[in-house]
Chain A
Amino acid sequence: MQWMLNNKFKMKNHFSLPNSGHNFDAKGSKLGMWLFLFTELLLFGGLFLTYLVYRNLYHEAFLQSSFHLNKWAGFTNTIVLLTSSMTVAMSIVALKKGAKNKAIWLLALTIIAAGIFMVIKYFEWSVKFEHGLFPGMDHYMSMEPGEKIYFFLYFFMTGLHGLHVIIGAVFIAVVIKKIANSKVNKDRVSLHENAGLYWHLVDLVWIYLFPLFYLIR
């Protein structure tokens, strides 16, 4: 694969610019990641705008529907994600100190936290499926319009968020592999830091999802 992607063929005496785009640029890499985070913010932002509008239109229905949600499951998940943010931040500290194994362990803990989050989410969703609350199911179709909107948004937003949890976990797994074979190390931390930034974004989205869906009381 490398030969196919490597278009830097050899030229005799080829002059190379100081500001070449082929150099590794940690600051540029970070800037790129932040820009990507902005796109994710606005992606979820569209959903939050939708939530804003419908919550204003269907205030009562949203309140009633939120009673279906388990506040403690949400609380636990919030703590789990906050902890995972801490572990990923600590893993960067570790890597910068050269403590490779500690870094890997902390990243592994982050992935485990992600796993716990998804398991709790799975149980939450299963309960709702059992009660027929997913869009299209019988009980769902018999609900008030405001409740329908609430549950559509609930599944859409927590679902999209869950997808990002998985993506983030995969990203972190890739970083673990690269730390293990030293491609990512204390002098080349960018990929690790970027994975951390992505993970914090996942955490940020949940920080808002939790009160908006679980704590309307």
Chain B
Amino acid sequence: MDLFISLILLNKIIYIMEKINVKKHEHQFSYKEHFGTWIGLVLLTVMTVSFSSLWTILGELAIVTALFIATSKALVVLEYFMHLKFDPKLYRVMITVVLGLFAFFMIMLTIDYLTR
């Protein structure tokens, strides 16, 4: 239970840190903002490693949690380090299409193998 609370707390910390950073924004990042992003990413990494040792409790959910955290990290890298958050909308549309395509491949392959 306390692990879930710490998860929520950590998420809140990251969210607040990002909010502080965002306020100053035009299109140029600052060193501080990148450092903040890094802290967030490191925390997420620590989270994912510590959660992995809970596989006995989580069971099936372990992989879901791990991928969920990995995806959060990926989104942070994309939005901040790669500047997607402040880029023209076109880029967001493009990457959504690409990831959607990939998702479709995953879905169809899963359907095939599950229903054989």
Q: Which residues of A contact B (CB under 8 A)?
A: 34, 38, 41-42, 45, 49, 52-53, 56-57, 71, 75, 78-79, 82-83, 85-86, 89-90, 92-93, 96, 196-197, 200, 203-204, 207-208, 210-212, 215-217
Contacts and interface: CB of A to CB of B under 8 A. Distances in A.
Interface stretch (B3-11, B12-20, B68-76): B68-76
A204 B49 contact: no
Main secondary structure of the interface of A (DSSP, over half): helix
Nearest to B55: A217
B72 to A, nearest CB: 10
Interface residues of B, number: 40
Contact of B74 (A56, A92, A208): A208
Interface of B: 28-31, 34-35, 37-38, 41-42, 45, 48-49, 52-53, 55, 62-63, 66-67, 69-70, 73-74, 77-78, 80-82, 91, 94-95, 98, 102, 105-106, 109-110, 113-114
B66 A215 contact: yes
A215 B52 contact: yes
Given A34-B95, A86-B81, A89-B34, 6 more contacts: A75-B45, A79-B45, A82-B41, A82-B45, A215-B49, A217-B62
Nearest to A57: B113
A89 B86 CA distance: 14
A13 to B, nearest CB: 37
A146 B52 CA distance: 22
Nearest to A55: B63
Given A41-B102, A45-B105, A211-B69, A82 B49 contact: no
Nearest to A86: B38
A99 to B, nearest CB: 10
B77 A203 contact: yes
A86 B91 CA distance: 21
